[in-house]
Amino acid sequence: MPTAKVQPDGVQDVAAKEHPIQSQISKAIASNAQLLAKAELYFTAFLSMSDMISDIVMVVRYYRNNEMSYAVASVICIGLNLMLQSLAVFNTKPLDKQMKEQAIVWTLVKPGVDAYRVATKSQTQEGDAVDARAEMTGIRAAEMVRLRA
């Protein structure tokens, strides 16, 4: 175990002992980084839910303007996205938990729930195929493919 060097004037080597202010700054930076990461997750979820709502608004607008091909294409994309999310949460959970997960998907709040689970580091529960972060990443990747189609 290395010992601190004593300088001629009796001051210890700074490298041997961390300064209290440096420790406080490091902790503040770390807590801000976690806060920013959580904010990013919630903002991403907000954008995802807003995107779904804007898609629904556009379907209504296409329908009112008799642009049926665009309306049908948008409905198909939204439906495929929701079915993919529904399949992603379909697993071996008990029926009551399964119904809760399906309700989260079909009420369009899945991105927000996923962000909350990742931000709070929710533990994988019995019957979950993957952890919350992997599930959120997969669903968002599929959504990006939907946006490109």
Report d(CA 111, CA 47) in Å as an integer.
9
- Residue 78: C-alpha distances to residues 70, 82, 84, 120 (Å): 12, 6, 10, 28
The model's pTM = 0.60
Return the bridge partners of 6, or none: 12
pLDDT value of position 123: 72
> Tell me: the pLDDT tens digits for 44-69?
778 878 888 888 899 999 999 999 99
Are 146 and 77 contacting, i.e. CB atoms less than 8 angstroms apart? yes
- Residue 85: C-alpha distances to residues 50, 53, 79 (Å): 17, 16, 10
Mean residue pLDDT of the chain comes to 76
> Tell me: the pLDDT tens digits for 66-96?
999 999 998 998 888 888 888 888 776 778 8
